[in-house]
Amino acid sequence: MRPEIFEGSAVISQKGRDKGRVFVVLYQVDADFVMVADGDTRNLDRMKKKRRKHVRALPAAFPDAVKQWREGTLKDSDLRRILWPLREKLAGAARNDSGREEPIVQG
């Protein structure tokens, strides 16, 4: 069973040109769509609308980020800081035997 996607969930894109990128869900548009940002290519001014079926939930959540976003105090640098450990962990898991990274997580 797939983990539920909710506000504050860390997700990885499964489809589109941003495939493999890690995002935080900042709010739910409706039953099919969520708005995501990563503070890098998709900053808070240009959030990405993604279909739920095109993202996979990761075992991490950042409810404080959603709270800060609603209060207007969240910055792009905050998103980059909280997502960095996840990106590093996923990049490390994608390394093959030769030590080179596979292009699973960009950035």
- Paired strand residues for 10: 24
Percent of the chain scoring above 70 in pLDDT: 85
What's the CA gap between 14 and 22, in Å, rounded?
A: 10
Q: What is the CA radius of gyration of the chain?
A: 13
Whether 102 has a pLDDT exceeding 70, the answer reads no
- Give the domain ranges of the chain: 9-82
pTM: 0.81
Measured from the Cβ of residue 105, the count of other Cβ atoms closer than 10 Å reads 21
What is the fold, at CATH topology level, of the domain defined by 9-82?
SH3 type barrels. (2.30.30)
**Secondary structure class of 8 (helix, strand, coil):** coil
**pLDDT tens digits, 39-90:** 999 999 999 999 999 999 998 999 999 999 999 999 999 999 999 999 888 8
Q: Are 82 and 63 in contact (CB under 8 A)?
A: no
N residues, the chain: 107
